[in-house]
Amino acid sequence: MKRHGMINSHITKILTDLGHTDTIVIADAGLPVPSDVPKIDLSLKLGVPSFEDVVVAVLEDMATEKIVIASEMKERNQKAYELMEKQNILVEEVSHEQLKMLTSKAKVVIRTGEATPYANCILQAGVIF
């Protein structure tokens, strides 16, 4: 068993396999997942686990060079927006519709139990060197 970091074996495998510029999605409970993109469903009940808990845990293990969010997040989900802004990672804003289209290129969608609007982000892999 691992001593530190991510212990979810499915997420660990995805993170280990990521190459530079590959993307993953961390999604609220309602974001549609394209049928050809694998989904890791962590949801237990509404709000559990939270978007914040999953984002923080994944970012601890993932070399991330960019975060993509829906521009609507700034007005409709201030808490999630502030979380994104404090990561010291480039944040790019796109429309919610564009974000949903970009999920089709992701290696995986990680579904949380989050039930607040616009609690979704795309993390783009960086490199560790």
Choosing from 20, 90, 92, 101, which is the catalytic residue?
20
81 among the known binding-site residues?
Answer: no
pTM above 0.95, yes or no: yes
Q: In whole angstroms, what is the distance from residue 25 CA to residue 69 CA?
A: 10
Give Cβ neighbours of residue 99 (< 8 Å, ≥ 6 apart): 68, 69, 70, 120, 122
Identify whether 10 is a catalytic site residue.
Answer: no
- Return the percentage of the chain with pLDDT > 70, whole number: 100
pLDDT digits (tens, 9 = 90+) for 56-94: 999 999 999 999 999 999 999 999 999 999 999 999 999
Question: In which band, very low, low, confident or very high, does the pLDDT at 108 lie, cut at 50, 70 and 90?
Answer: very high
Average predicted confidence (pLDDT) for the chain:
97
User: How far is 81 from 73, CA to CA, in rounded Å?
Assistant: 6
State residue 4's pLDDT score.
87
Mean pLDDT calculated for residue range 4-23: 96
Q: Decide: residue 49, CB within 10 A, 0-12 exposed, 13-18 middle, 19+ buried.
A: middle
Beta bridge partners of 65: none
Report all structural domains of the chain as residue ranges with CATH numbers, in order of start: 9-125 (3.40.1650.10)
